[in-house]
Structure 1
Amino acid sequence: MNRPKLSSVAVLGSYRGGTSVVTGLLKHFGFFVGDAFFNAWNGYWTYEDVYLRRLCLECFDEREGNWSHRADFATRVERLSRWSEWARWRAVEEDACGIAGKHPTLCKLVPELTDAWTSDGGSAAKLVSVSRDAESIISAWRKSKSPNGHPWWPRGDVEDIVHDLIRCRDSSLEGVEHLVFDYERLRREPEFEIGRLADYCEVGDIRKSIAIDWYTDTCRALGQGTPLVLGWEHSANPESGKPPTELPELQNAMSNAFVDLQVSRRLPSLPLDKVLCVMITFNERLRLPDTLRHYRSLGVDRFAIIDNGSDDGTVELLLSQHDCDVYFMPHAYRSSVGGSGWSSTLIREFYGTGRWVVCTDADEQMVYHDCERHDLHDLVRLLKDSGQSSLPCVTIDCYSDRGFLTSVLDPNQQMVDCCPLFDSEGYVRLELNDPADGVPRVIWSGGPIEREMNAPCGWLAKVPLMYWKAETWNWNPHVAYPFERNFSAPSGAILHFKWLSDLSGVVGREIARNQRTYNAEKYRLLGRKIATQGDISLVSFRSRKYEGSSSIVGAGFADVVDWNNEQERIIPKLPSS
């Protein structure tokens, strides 16, 4: 995908300095300003794209007591250029007239920004300096309250950082063409000031009129006390309206935790027409080589992997790969919502929306009808053409014809050759369309761990492949948001390779770590089973050999896909109630 050449606008100003309203005007002029915006809980739209925000914070540390640049100049330019490249691709998709972005720390990064946003050989980036009196900014900051009534962002250096941002911005703009946008005059004479901005950005009268109407309506709503920030309202074409209230809170908590995420190795920007695969790993050296091989064979173009402190060579393996971005998260896995919170935040804040992503584990391999001949690029084209944005799957445990403690995976052996058997029946699918907990979802139950160990049922549904929009999120490892995505067709399956000879050690480790759901209940059940019975064979009358995707289609676990863009729904028969 060639990077398109479009005009770019950077909005420069302090926190509480009026940059949000200017970026909102640019959005209504027809610029792409992002679509997943940071929720600052401050009563108005921020129009601060979370991907750009994350990159800015990689360039400049805004935390109290750390107010300083990060990395060297060239690295900061490279980081800011990532957003420019992504935004240009998105702008073409949205038929936007250009790109525009804001974050207060850009005031400290004007030279880097100028290089990063004009590096495609196009025209120089337009710079808009939002002028507002420093004392008014400081007063607005101190008066701002979060929904809980607490100060919006309490810190002891408010005056210093406001004055520093303004001083640094103004000195960087000396001798550089730019527009000074008068925030106070906007409030007095909106049509005049919006007209000046439109002329500078070379926007026509129709778009200017749309922006004026938006600003007038916004002021009227604020005057009536109407809240304008609810997180979901930032989304472009949300699929299912307002999400449960806990989602924006969870997203903010995850975003805050990602301040501590460390970048071990990150490759150049990934174009939007490439498929990304995200994993969370901890001591997966045994399974990773074959899982990487599998997803490469399906057409994955890049892996983005968060390691949670492996000490078995996992990180060294990943860093030796040509297509893996590698990160390190020091926080406890228990805080990640089963990994789904971390994977969702990584996608939104490090790669941006508007792309197809596979979220998987190192012991999981997604399959679908005829995947041996049709890769993920074929699949996403079919899904897109049929108006679908996800591939729901059932997790199918695979095992060998021996006891699992003697199921040794040889070097260079594929896991499906070591563990080729699966239960071809005994699984049950149930749709919960209007559950009491307000989370519509699909429940799959069955498989060897339930039949042999009486483990908790119903945790086998997953939605590994999705097209990520602003509102997309992995609610937990088994439920996608928007909830409609859990019910899409066609469907696929996930081959699950837990039952290898290292499992006894894994069980002991996970019980000791106690980072899994429900205090690692499944691992405790399995540990007791191993302690009383030793090696366990999972072979039963239900066992069948996996011989390709036709096996899971024939068993009713995945849909037949007509690759001419029609699909026939095949769902295992539900039990009678």
Structure 2
Amino acid sequence: MLDVSIKDAGRLARVVSGQVDPARLTLFSTMKNEMGFLPAFLAHYRSIGFEQFLIWDDASTDGTFEHLSAQSDCIVMRSDLGFGQELRFTDPEGRTRVERAGTYFKIALPHLFFDNAFVAYVDADEFLILPPGVTSVAQVVDRLRDDGAFAAVASVVEFFPRGVQGLKGELPDSFQGLIAAYPHFQAEALVDLTPGALRPRLMGQSKTAHLYAQYNVTPPLIRRGWHKIWMPARVRRDQQSQTSPRHKTPLILRSADCHQVGSHNASKPPSSTVLLTLAHFVFTAQFADKITRAITQGAHAHGARKYHGYAQLLKAMEGRDDGFLDAQSVRYQGPQQLIDLGLMRW
């Protein structure tokens, strides 16, 4: 297993298209075969003020790489490592743990180019919603700096249609189109922020967890290699504790003293007065295809156990016109609604 630190990112990944401008407000993402979301993704984040996109492309074959390379505000990086390859990572505090290469690059690559700068990190199916009256993410960054905060947490809110029939057709090519096609979410607060706390307190449940309970679905344990013979209790617990994320830290001050931890946290306390919202479009026209790809590739956490659960869920929901809805499902109306429900704070 390869031993790495943040400083090794520059020899493990390389810029293959574009040139980074450290002065630009930048969004970083890792992508593999995300052409379906790219038009909406780029248009949305440009519209809320991002000036530059730094993308690590994991050997895409669907046109993602070519599309990104043709954009004047996109810088594309690649590596000989695949997302799921395990590395032994020693973080700046000297703690060593095993990370997948994709997670390692989320942590390390922005530090190659940015020092004392806020850099965003989101996935291709996650769309940041700004608070009422805020028109640019630069306003959020300014507030974080004024407050001396190192990061901003976001509630990860899964959006969905009425039923599985809403998963058919073409994937919309704009944020507004995505909201129109998949307009529902759960009216349930997911995180609480405490001044000085390193992590938010998790509350409620994700829509995925609600659906698993509603349809009595339990994702199977994934046994690979010698785990087919014997699976240690620790590994079993890790798989069983895996849940769909309820929070993420999409804005982090990247510096010698502050870095990303895993896929969802920062090494320093986030703001306790700013809570953003990430609209997570899991249940879309790409849902069935994404399940197949995730299971085939096996690069996601625990051998894509969550996606094996999604496959069971999709089968259980067949034929139900309103199968996604329950008593807490509401239609999206705007960011003030998110504040009223405790999913956003400003």
* CA RMSD, 1 decimal: 2.8
Equivalent position of 1:409 in the other structure: 171
Q: What is the correspondence of 1:92-491 to structure 2 with a 5 Å cutoff?
A: 252-253=4-5, 255-256=7-8, 258-267=10-19, 269-271=21-23, 274-334=24-84, 335=86, 337=100, 339-349=102-112, 351-370=113-132, 373-403=134-164, 404-406=166-168, 408-411=170-173, 414-425=177-188, 427-429=189-191, 440-454=199-213, 456-457=242-243, 459-482=245-268, 484-485=269-270, 488-491=272-275
- Answer yes or no: is the 8 Å Cα contact 1:368–1:491 preserved in 2: no
- Answer yes or no: is the 8 Å Cα contact 2:208–2:244 preserved in 1: no
Q: CA deviation at 1:498?
A: 1.4
Whether 1:505 aligns to 2:289 is: yes
Q: Distance in 1 between matches of 2:292 and 2:81?
A: 21
State the Cα deviation string for residues 23-52 of structure 1 (Å, max 9, x = none).
xxxxxxxxxxxxxxxxxxxxxxxxxxxxxx
Q: CA deviation at 1:422?
A: 0.9
- Answer yes or no: is the 8 Å Cα contact 1:407–1:418 preserved in 2: no
- Answer yes or no: is the 8 Å Cα contact 2:16–2:76 preserved in 1: yes
Q: CA deviation at 1:457?
A: 3.9
- Answer yes or no: is the 8 Å Cα contact 2:16–2:78 preserved in 1: yes
User: Using a 3 Å threshold, how does the CA distance of structure 1 residues 338 and 499 change in structure 2: closer, same or farther?
Assistant: farther
Larger Rg: 1
| TM-score, length basis structure 2 | 0.78
Counterpart secondary structure, 2:53? strand
- Answer yes or no: is the 8 Å Cα contact 1:338–1:477 preserved in 2: no
Give the gaps of 5 or more residues in structure 2. 87-98, 219-241
User: Using a 3 Å threshold, how does the CA distance of structure 1 residues 332 and 497 change in structure 2: closer, same or farther?
Assistant: same
- Answer yes or no: is the 8 Å Cα contact 1:369–1:550 preserved in 2: yes
Q: CA deviation at 1:368?
A: 3.0
Q: CA deviation at 1:323?
A: 0.6
Q: CA deviation at 1:286?
A: 0.6
Letter in 1 for 2:258: T
Q: CA deviation at 1:489?
A: 2.2
User: Using a 3 Å threshold, how does the CA distance of structure 1 residues 479 and 338 change in structure 2: closer, same or farther?
Assistant: farther
Letter in 2 for 1:480: A
Q: CA deviation at 1:258?
A: 4.4
Q: Distance in 2 between matches of 1:491 and 1:325?
A: 28
How many residue pairs align between the two structures? 301
User: Using a 3 Å threshold, how does the CA distance of structure 1 residues 379 and 253 change in structure 2: closer, same or farther?
Assistant: closer
Q: Percent of aligned positions with the same letter in both sequences?
A: 20
Letter in 2 for 1:497: F
Equivalent position of 2:223 in the other structure: none
State the Cα deviation string for residues 304-325 of structure 1 (Å, max 9, x = none).
0000011111111111212100
Equivalent position of 2:227 in the other structure: none
Letter in 2 for 1:261: A
Letter in 2 for 1:259: R
Give the gaps of 5 or more residues in structure 1. 1-248, 562-577
User: Using a 3 Å threshold, how does the CA distance of structure 1 residues 329 and 460 change in structure 2: closer, same or farther?
Assistant: farther
- Answer yes or no: is the 8 Å Cα contact 2:103–2:262 preserved in 1: yes
Equivalent position of 1:529 in the other structure: 313
Q: Distance in 2 between matches of 1:430 and 1:380?
A: 20
Q: Distance in 1 between matches of 2:21 and 2:63?
A: 26
Q: Distance in 2 between matches of 1:406 and 1:382?
A: 41
Counterpart secondary structure, 2:159? strand
Q: Distance in 2 between matches of 1:328 and 1:380?
A: 28
Equivalent position of 1:149 in the other structure: none
- Answer yes or no: is the 8 Å Cα contact 1:300–1:376 preserved in 2: yes
- Answer yes or no: is the 8 Å Cα contact 2:33–2:62 preserved in 1: yes
Letter in 2 for 1:467: L
State the Cα deviation string for residues 174-223 of structure 1 (Å, max 9, x = none).
xxxxxxxxxxxxxxxxxxxxxxxxxxxxxxxxxxxxxxxxxxxxxxxxxx
Letter in 1 for 2:206: G
The answer to which of 258-267 and 276-285 deviates more is: 258-267
| TM-score, length basis structure 1 | 0.48
Q: Distance in 1 between matches of 2:11 and 2:205?
A: 39
Q: Which has the higher contact order (CA 8 A, sep 6+)?
A: 2
- Answer yes or no: is the 8 Å Cα contact 1:337–1:476 preserved in 2: no
User: Using a 3 Å threshold, how does the CA distance of structure 1 residues 410 and 461 change in structure 2: closer, same or farther?
Assistant: closer
User: Using a 3 Å threshold, how does the CA distance of structure 1 residues 535 and 552 change in structure 2: closer, same or farther?
Assistant: farther
- More strand by percentage: 2
- Answer yes or no: is the 8 Å Cα contact 2:211–2:313 preserved in 1: no
- Answer yes or no: is the 8 Å Cα contact 2:159–2:182 preserved in 1: yes
State the Cα deviation string for residues 232-281 of structure 1 (Å, max 9, x = none).
xxxxxxxxxxxxxxxxx97x34543642323221225231xx31100000
Letter in 1 for 2:36: L
Letter in 2 for 1:450: A
- More helix by percentage: 1
User: Using a 3 Å threshold, how does the CA distance of structure 1 residues 533 and 414 change in structure 2: closer, same or farther?
Assistant: closer
Counterpart secondary structure, 1:388? coil
